A and B are shown apart, each in its own frame.
Chain A
Protein backbone atom coordinates (compact mmCIF):
# COMPACT_ATOMS: atom_id res chain seq x y z
CA UNK A 1 0.00 0.00 0.00
CA UNK A 2 1.41 3.39 -1.00
CA UNK A 3 0.53 6.49 0.96
CA UNK A 4 1.89 9.99 1.42
CA UNK A 5 2.95 10.53 5.03
CA UNK A 6 3.91 14.05 6.05
CA UNK A 7 4.49 15.00 2.40
CA UNK A 8 6.76 11.97 1.76
CA UNK A 9 5.86 8.82 -0.21
CA UNK A 10 5.76 5.74 2.06
CA UNK A 11 5.20 2.04 1.42
CA UNK A 12 3.07 0.35 4.09
CA UNK A 13 3.59 -3.42 4.35
CA UNK A 14 0.14 -4.96 4.74
CA UNK A 15 -1.98 -7.74 3.22
CA UNK A 16 -5.13 -5.65 3.52
CA UNK A 17 -6.68 -2.91 1.38
CA UNK A 18 -6.65 -0.50 4.29
CA UNK A 19 -5.38 -0.18 7.85
CA UNK A 20 -6.71 1.84 10.76
CA UNK A 21 -5.09 5.06 11.90
CA UNK A 22 -4.23 3.27 15.15
CA UNK A 23 -2.33 0.58 13.22
CA UNK A 24 -0.45 3.17 11.20
CA UNK A 25 0.57 5.01 14.38
CA UNK A 26 1.96 1.78 15.85
CA UNK A 27 3.76 0.77 12.63
CA UNK A 28 5.47 4.13 12.37
CA UNK A 29 6.13 4.51 16.12
CA UNK A 30 4.12 7.66 16.74
CA UNK A 31 4.10 7.12 20.47
CA UNK A 32 3.44 10.56 21.95
CA UNK A 33 0.12 11.06 23.68
CA UNK A 34 -0.65 14.33 21.90
CA UNK A 35 -0.96 14.02 18.14
CA UNK A 36 -2.68 15.68 15.24
CA UNK A 37 -3.81 13.27 12.53
CA UNK A 38 -5.32 14.32 9.22
CA UNK A 39 -6.28 11.93 6.42
CA UNK A 40 -6.87 13.63 3.06
CA UNK A 41 -7.13 16.95 4.90
CA UNK A 42 -9.89 15.75 7.27
CA UNK A 43 -9.01 15.79 10.96
CA UNK A 44 -9.24 12.43 12.73
CA UNK A 45 -9.98 12.90 16.44
CA UNK A 46 -8.47 10.55 19.01
CA UNK A 47 -11.61 8.53 19.70
CA UNK A 48 -11.75 7.60 16.00
CA UNK A 49 -8.15 6.33 15.66
CA UNK A 50 -9.29 2.69 15.93
CA UNK A 51 -12.07 3.05 13.33
CA UNK A 52 -10.79 5.62 10.80
CA UNK A 53 -8.93 3.97 7.94
CA UNK A 54 -6.00 4.74 5.69
CA UNK A 55 -6.05 3.24 2.19
CA UNK A 56 -3.84 3.18 -0.87
CA UNK A 57 -3.17 6.69 -2.23
CA UNK A 58 -4.21 8.54 0.92
CA UNK A 59 -2.47 11.72 2.04
CA UNK A 60 -1.76 11.42 5.75
CA UNK A 61 -0.35 13.90 8.24
CA UNK A 62 0.78 12.89 11.73
CA UNK A 63 2.36 15.55 13.95
CA UNK A 64 3.59 15.09 17.51
CA UNK A 65 2.45 18.01 19.63
CA UNK A 66 4.87 19.18 22.25
CA UNK A 67 4.75 21.53 25.19
CA UNK A 68 6.38 24.93 24.81
CA UNK A 69 5.20 28.35 23.84
Chain B
Protein backbone atom coordinates (compact mmCIF):
# COMPACT_ATOMS: atom_id res chain seq x y z
CA UNK B 1 0.00 0.00 0.00
CA UNK B 2 1.27 3.49 -0.80
CA UNK B 3 1.77 5.95 2.05
CA UNK B 4 -0.27 9.14 2.22
CA UNK B 5 2.86 11.08 1.21
CA UNK B 6 3.13 8.96 -1.98
CA UNK B 7 -0.60 9.38 -2.64
CA UNK B 8 -0.33 13.17 -2.32
CA UNK B 9 2.48 13.29 -4.90
CA UNK B 10 0.17 11.61 -7.43
CA UNK B 11 -2.93 13.63 -6.51
CA UNK B 12 -0.86 16.81 -6.86
CA UNK B 13 -0.49 16.20 -10.62
CA UNK B 14 -4.23 15.96 -11.30
CA UNK B 15 -6.82 18.51 -12.38
CA UNK B 16 -10.46 17.88 -11.50
CA UNK B 17 -13.42 19.91 -12.82
CA UNK B 18 -16.50 20.40 -10.64
CA UNK B 19 -19.73 21.63 -12.25
CA UNK B 20 -21.70 23.20 -9.41
CA UNK B 21 -20.69 24.37 -5.94
CA UNK B 22 -23.73 23.32 -3.92
CA UNK B 23 -24.19 20.33 -1.62
CA UNK B 24 -22.25 17.91 -3.80
CA UNK B 25 -19.70 20.25 -5.39
CA UNK B 26 -18.58 22.13 -2.28
CA UNK B 27 -18.10 18.88 -0.34
CA UNK B 28 -16.37 17.01 -3.17
CA UNK B 29 -13.98 19.99 -3.42
CA UNK B 30 -13.37 19.90 0.33
CA UNK B 31 -12.57 16.17 0.32
CA UNK B 32 -10.29 16.37 -2.73
CA UNK B 33 -8.46 19.37 -1.28
CA UNK B 34 -7.77 17.45 1.95
CA UNK B 35 -6.15 14.61 -0.01
CA UNK B 36 -3.88 16.98 -1.93
CA UNK B 37 -5.52 17.38 -5.34
CA UNK B 38 -3.31 19.63 -7.48
CA UNK B 39 -5.85 21.74 -9.29
CA UNK B 40 -9.61 22.30 -9.11
CA UNK B 41 -11.73 24.12 -11.69
CA UNK B 42 -15.11 25.00 -10.17
CA UNK B 43 -18.09 26.80 -11.75
CA UNK B 44 -21.35 28.02 -10.19
CA UNK B 45 -23.52 31.13 -10.60
CA UNK B 46 -25.23 31.13 -7.20
CA UNK B 47 -24.76 32.94 -3.87
CA UNK B 48 -24.67 31.36 -0.41
CA UNK B 49 -28.11 31.39 1.24
CA UNK B 50 -29.37 30.41 4.69
CA UNK B 51 -31.01 27.21 3.37
CA UNK B 52 -27.64 26.01 2.00
CA UNK B 53 -26.08 25.75 5.46
CA UNK B 54 -27.81 22.41 6.23
CA UNK B 55 -25.39 20.64 3.88
CA UNK B 56 -23.05 22.86 1.89
CA UNK B 57 -19.45 23.69 2.82
CA UNK B 58 -20.09 27.34 3.71
CA UNK B 59 -20.40 29.31 6.94
CA UNK B 60 -23.00 31.72 8.33
CA UNK B 61 -20.66 34.69 7.92
CA UNK B 62 -20.54 33.94 4.16
CA UNK B 63 -24.25 34.49 3.44
CA UNK B 64 -24.99 36.34 0.16
CA UNK B 65 -21.44 35.89 -1.08
CA UNK B 66 -20.73 34.25 -4.44
CA UNK B 67 -20.40 30.53 -3.80
CA UNK B 68 -17.27 30.10 -5.91
CA UNK B 69 -15.50 32.93 -4.08
CA UNK B 70 -16.51 31.72 -0.62
CA UNK B 71 -15.53 28.16 -1.54
CA UNK B 72 -12.13 29.24 -2.83
CA UNK B 73 -11.51 31.00 0.48
CA UNK B 74 -12.54 27.91 2.50
CA UNK B 75 -10.45 25.51 0.39
CA UNK B 76 -7.35 27.70 0.63
CA UNK B 77 -7.71 27.60 4.42
CA UNK B 78 -7.27 23.81 4.15
CA UNK B 79 -4.44 23.93 1.61
CA UNK B 80 -2.91 27.34 0.77
CA UNK B 81 -1.02 25.69 -2.12
CA UNK B 82 -4.16 24.47 -3.91
CA UNK B 83 -4.33 25.69 -7.50
CA UNK B 84 -7.95 26.76 -7.87
CA UNK B 85 -9.69 28.30 -10.86
CA UNK B 86 -13.21 29.61 -10.27
CA UNK B 87 -15.90 30.61 -12.77
CA UNK B 88 -18.88 32.64 -11.60
CA UNK B 89 -21.23 31.58 -14.36
CA UNK B 90 -24.34 29.62 -15.23
CA UNK B 91 -23.12 26.57 -17.13
CA UNK B 92 -24.85 25.55 -20.35
CA UNK B 93 -24.15 23.22 -23.26
CA UNK B 94 -22.16 25.98 -25.01
CA UNK B 95 -19.76 27.04 -22.25
CA UNK B 96 -19.34 23.67 -20.50
CA UNK B 97 -16.54 22.27 -22.67
CA UNK B 98 -14.62 25.54 -22.78
CA UNK B 99 -14.80 25.99 -19.00
CA UNK B 100 -13.57 22.45 -18.35
CA UNK B 101 -11.31 21.94 -21.36
CA UNK B 102 -8.24 20.93 -19.33
CA UNK B 103 -9.56 18.49 -16.74
CA UNK B 104 -8.37 14.92 -16.14
CA UNK B 105 -11.63 13.95 -14.43
CA UNK B 106 -15.01 15.70 -14.39
CA UNK B 107 -17.42 15.78 -11.44
CA UNK B 108 -21.10 16.55 -11.99
CA UNK B 109 -22.52 18.44 -9.01
CA UNK B 110 -25.62 20.11 -10.40
CA UNK B 111 -28.95 20.31 -8.63
CA UNK B 112 -31.41 19.89 -11.53
CA UNK B 113 -31.86 16.62 -13.42
CA UNK B 114 -31.94 18.54 -16.72
CA UNK B 115 -28.39 19.79 -16.11
CA UNK B 116 -27.19 16.31 -15.14
CA UNK B 117 -28.53 15.05 -18.46
CA UNK B 118 -26.87 17.94 -20.31
CA UNK B 119 -23.39 17.28 -18.89
CA UNK B 120 -23.67 13.55 -19.66
CA UNK B 121 -24.65 14.26 -23.26
CA UNK B 122 -21.97 16.92 -23.78
CA UNK B 123 -19.08 15.11 -22.07
CA UNK B 124 -19.81 11.55 -23.13
CA UNK B 125 -20.20 12.73 -26.72
CA UNK B 126 -17.37 15.28 -27.02
CA UNK B 127 -14.95 14.04 -24.35
CA UNK B 128 -15.63 10.33 -23.98
CA UNK B 129 -12.12 9.70 -22.62
CA UNK B 130 -12.62 11.96 -19.60
CA UNK B 131 -14.14 10.02 -16.69
CA UNK B 132 -17.41 11.65 -15.58
CA UNK B 133 -18.61 11.17 -11.99
CA UNK B 134 -22.29 11.88 -11.31
CA UNK B 135 -24.31 12.28 -8.12
CA UNK B 136 -27.84 10.90 -8.51
CA UNK B 137 -30.30 10.49 -5.63
CA UNK B 138 -29.32 11.62 -2.11
CA UNK B 139 -32.42 13.27 -0.61
CA UNK B 140 -33.83 12.45 2.82
CA UNK B 141 -32.14 10.53 5.62
CA UNK B 142 -31.24 6.95 6.59
CA UNK B 143 -30.90 4.18 3.99
CA UNK B 144 -27.13 4.52 3.96
CA UNK B 145 -26.73 1.09 2.42
CA UNK B 146 -28.79 2.07 -0.62
CA UNK B 147 -26.12 4.55 -1.65
CA UNK B 148 -23.89 2.96 -4.26
CA UNK B 149 -21.48 3.60 -7.10
CA UNK B 150 -22.28 2.18 -10.54
CA UNK B 151 -19.77 2.15 -13.33
CA UNK B 152 -20.57 2.06 -17.06
CA UNK B 153 -17.35 2.54 -18.97
CA UNK B 154 -16.08 6.03 -18.21
CA UNK B 155 -19.34 7.07 -16.53
CA UNK B 156 -19.66 6.65 -12.76
CA UNK B 157 -22.96 7.21 -10.97
CA UNK B 158 -23.02 7.73 -7.19
CA UNK B 159 -26.21 7.78 -5.10
CA UNK B 160 -29.34 5.72 -4.57
CA UNK B 161 -30.83 6.55 -8.00
CA UNK B 162 -34.17 6.83 -6.22
CA UNK B 163 -34.57 9.67 -3.72
CA UNK B 164 -35.51 12.82 -5.61
CA UNK B 165 -35.35 16.13 -3.77
CA UNK B 166 -38.74 17.70 -3.04
CA UNK B 167 -40.51 19.82 -0.42
CA UNK B 168 -41.05 16.80 1.84
CA UNK B 169 -37.81 15.11 0.81
CA UNK B 170 -35.18 17.76 1.52
CA UNK B 171 -31.49 17.29 0.88
CA UNK B 172 -29.57 17.25 4.18
CA UNK B 173 -25.93 16.99 5.21
CA UNK B 174 -25.59 13.28 6.12
CA UNK B 175 -26.83 11.74 2.85
CA UNK B 176 -25.57 14.55 0.63
CA UNK B 177 -22.14 14.15 2.22
CA UNK B 178 -22.25 10.38 1.70
CA UNK B 179 -22.90 11.00 -2.00
CA UNK B 180 -20.24 13.72 -2.27
CA UNK B 181 -17.74 11.50 -0.44
CA UNK B 182 -18.55 8.64 -2.85
CA UNK B 183 -17.88 10.98 -5.77
CA UNK B 184 -14.55 12.15 -4.29
CA UNK B 185 -13.64 8.54 -3.45
CA UNK B 186 -14.41 7.51 -7.03
CA UNK B 187 -12.16 10.30 -8.34
CA UNK B 188 -9.38 9.06 -6.05
CA UNK B 189 -9.74 5.45 -7.15
CA UNK B 190 -9.66 6.41 -10.83
CA UNK B 191 -6.46 8.43 -10.26
CA UNK B 192 -4.71 5.92 -8.04
CA UNK B 193 -5.68 2.93 -10.13
CA UNK B 194 -3.85 4.52 -13.04
CA UNK B 195 -0.70 4.58 -10.90
CA UNK B 196 -0.86 1.56 -8.64
CA UNK B 197 -3.19 -0.75 -10.59
CA UNK B 198 -6.35 -2.07 -8.98
CA UNK B 199 -4.58 -4.34 -6.53
CA UNK B 200 -5.16 -1.94 -3.64
CA UNK B 201 -8.31 -0.14 -4.63
CA UNK B 202 -10.96 -2.01 -6.48
CA UNK B 203 -13.27 -0.07 -8.78
CA UNK B 204 -15.43 1.76 -8.22
Contacts and interface: CB of A to CB of B under 8 A. Distances in A.
A66 B161 contact: yes
B125 interface: yes
Interface string A1-42: 000001100000000000000000000000011111010010
B57 interface: no
Contact of B117 (A36, A38, A68, A69): A36
B124 A43 contact: yes
A68 B137 contact: yes
Interface residues of A, number: 19
B136 A63 contact: yes
Contacts of B121: 43, 45
Interface string B159-179: 001111100000100001000
Interface residues of B, number: 34
Interface in A33-68: 33-36, 38, 41, 43, 45, 61, 63-68
Nearest to A59: B152
B23 interface: yes
A32 B112 CA distance: 14
A68 B161 contact: no
A34 B125 CA distance: 17
B164 A67 contact: yes
B192 to A, nearest CB: 23
B113 A41 contact: no
Contacts of B22: 69
A38 B152 contact: yes
Nearest to A33: B113
A67 to B, nearest CB: 5
Given A65-B136, A68-B138, A69-B24, A38 B110 contact: no
A45 B113 contact: no
Contacts of A61: 152
A68 to B, nearest CB: 4
A43 B165 contact: no
Contacts of B199: none
A64 to B, nearest CB: 6
Nearest to B160: A66
B125 to A, nearest CB: 6
A68 B152 contact: no
Interface of A: 6-7, 32-36, 38, 41, 43, 45, 61, 63-69
6 pairs of A and B residues whose beta carbons are closest in the complex: A68-B165, A66-B164, A34-B113, A41-B153, A65-B113, A43-B124
19 contacts: A34-B116, A34-B117, A35-B117, A38-B124, A43-B121, A43-B125, A45-B121, A63-B157, A63-B161, A64-B136, A66-B136, A66-B162, A66-B165, A67-B111, A67-B112, A68-B139, A68-B163, A69-B110, A69-B135
